[in-house]
Structure 1
Amino acid sequence: MTPLTYLQGYPEHILLKVQRLIEQQRLAELLTQRYPNSHGVTSDKALYQYTLELKNRYLRHAPPINKVAWDGKIQVLKHALGLHTAISRIQGNKLKAKAEIRVATVFKAGPEDFLRMIVVHELAHLKEKQHDKAFYQLCCHMEPRYHQLEFDTRLWLVQKALTAQECP
């Protein structure tokens, strides 16, 4: 796997700029300058509280969230950065629905802005199931820098992959 796998679908001129940053060994420095602070959200309970605060601020009338957790099983390339699942169960004559959000544990050590972008993305799925225009408008409503943060999160993953290649 090449580190630029995280940037599939981006235009060639963007990929060339990223490649130049990598060759000049400036990608890590750029990301550290832009995002110097990490977050302190390390437990599932803290992640649930963090997510609930965002939900209550922007999506008060959306369905409740039953569980939010860090998930070490999420493979970032296959499952993106987090998961939103809706579980429906029949209990007697009632249909019970539960919403769960899981965030890849790789982001425990990441910048708060990246965590916020992922949580915003998963919260948007409470109202909009598809990745369509309405979905991204909702993401941008909750986080105006959503698209830049998503790109920078992918750059951060590229840098992590490069670091892992250097230190097996």
Structure 2
Amino acid sequence: MTALKYLQAYPATLQDQVRQLIAEGRLGDYLSQRYPEKHGVQSDKALYTYALDLKQEYLRNAPAIDKVLFDNRLDLTHRALGLHTAISRVQGGKLKAKKEIRIASLFKDAPSGFLKMIVVHELAHFKESDHNKAFYKLCEHMLPGYHQVEFDLRVYLTWRDMQ
């Protein structure tokens, strides 16, 4: 039986369906059929604009984003596909907080739905710090079908490991 490290938290029936697609050699076809389009976001500047547009549409009252970039150091060994950080510094008599989002560079070549899911996930952390019910409700609001895209992203990571 194939170990599916990205899908361990999912029910055995779903894991068995993925194993069946792997055995039949159809996992890549499944993914390309569901996510045929690639995105055009290839630079840090374009990623910043992309994230800012999503923030403006859904999270107008959230703190401003200071930096958004693709990070070569984020990878699956650190179990991080994206990171959000808030760095606070004292400048003079004021406390300045900078909000940053870092997205793993592997998403430069991923389908557009996966990039959007990761950006939505990191933006949601500006409102909800924990992975709780309110957090996932916000993710679902910003990206209808969020949970399916997250599952498919894990299937995509499984497929990438097989390549």
TM-score normalised by length of structure 2: 0.96
Counterpart position of 1:166: none
- The alpha carbon displacement at 1:21 in A equals 0.7
- The alpha carbon displacement at 1:92 in A equals 1.8
2:132 maps to amino acid: D
Counterpart position of 2:149: 149
Large movers: runs of 4+ above 2 Å: 76-80
- The alpha carbon displacement at 1:8 in A equals 2.1
Distance in 2 between the 1:98 and 1:76 partners?
Answer: 26
Q: Is contact 1:3-1:159 (8 Å) kept?
A: no
Relative to structure 1, the CA distance from residue 69 to residue 35 in structure 2 (aligned partners, 3 Å threshold; closer, same or farther) is same
Ranges in structure 1 where 5+ consecutive residues have no aligned partner: 164-168
- The alpha carbon displacement at 1:115 in A equals 0.5
Map 1:58-97 → 2, pairs under 5 A:
58-97=58-97
The size of the alignment, in residue pairs, is 162
**SS at 1:5 equivalent:** coil
Map 1:1-168 → 2, pairs under 5 A:
4-163=4-163
- Point out the structure with the larger helix share: 1
1:51 maps to amino acid: A
Distance in 1 between the 2:130 and 2:95 partners?
Answer: 23
- The alpha carbon displacement at 1:78 in A equals 2.4
1:94-126 Cα shifts (integer Å, max 9, x gaps): 111011001001110011111001000000000
Distance in 1 between the 2:3 and 2:71 partners?
Answer: 22
- The alpha carbon displacement at 1:77 in A equals 4.4
Q: Percent identity?
A: 58
Distance in 2 between the 1:3 and 1:64 partners?
Answer: 41
Distance in 2 between the 1:94 and 1:79 partners?
Answer: 35
1:21-47 Cα shifts (integer Å, max 9, x gaps): 101111000101111110010000000
Distance in 1 between the 2:152 and 2:96 partners?
Answer: 38
Distance in 2 between the 1:34 and 1:150 partners?
Answer: 13
Relative to structure 1, the CA distance from residue 95 to residue 79 in structure 2 (aligned partners, 3 Å threshold; closer, same or farther) is farther
User: How big is the alpha-carbon RMSD for the aligned residues of Structure 1 and Structure 2?
Assistant: 1.2
2:80 maps to amino acid: A
**SS at 1:69 equivalent:** strand
